[in-house]
Amino acid sequence: MNKHRRTDRKPALPQAPQEGAPLAAWAYRAEDLHESGLALERTASPHEREAITSALDLVDCRQLSSRFTIQPLAGGRFRLEGDVGASVTQTCGITLEPVEEEVAEPFALEFWPAASIPEDARETEIDPFAEDAPEPIVDGVLDVGRIVFEHLAQGINPFPRKAGAELERRQADGGAAPLEESPFAALARLKGGPGAAPPQVQRGKPRSKPKK
């Protein structure tokens, strides 16, 4: 996490995305949130979407927005809840054609003063239903942008595939696999109904003609 250099009583907040932090400008001073918190919907600018596209190796990030609330808690802590939604374009791993995808990821976690976070706070067993470990408040700033970016990256399909790409690959490799026979067709074949195979003629030695 990038630390902001303190130049006065209030930390200087980034005004534009920095290398490695596409949403670095989405940061908030803890001292501005102590009373009523914050409820906000924020949309990424074209410059921020371009930085996201580069950072995540996408073809394009066409849209990104996030709705979130920050609620002050006791002990200088804050609770962040919200979601991130995005429209992205990736490259199909089989056909190399563009694949459009919609991403929707919720998030819920707390920001704590760095000194109050136990050293082993992140050394816990992975629980897909558990909330994230506390995030540190660095230089009095809550880095919401990093949380939004990380959950966006988590929600993107790591194996993008164009619809029907597997079938196209099988056909290119030697034709589509034969279709399985339905139970109804198999039953009709056994009973000699429509679609049944003609009876096989037993082959053997020709019969000799009776002697007169």
pLDDT at 21: 86
pLDDT under 70: residue ranges of the chain: 1-20, 121-131, 166-212
Q: What amino acid is encoded at 102 in this protein?
A: E
pLDDT at 131: 63
- 46-55 and 144-155 helices cross at what angle (nearest 10)? 50
- State the Cα–Cα distance between residues 83 and 65, nearest whole angstrom: 9
Which stretch of DSSP H or E encloses residue 88?
A: strand 78-91
**In DSSP terms, which residues pair with 119 in a beta bridge?**
none
Q: What amino acid is encoded at 42 in this protein?
A: R
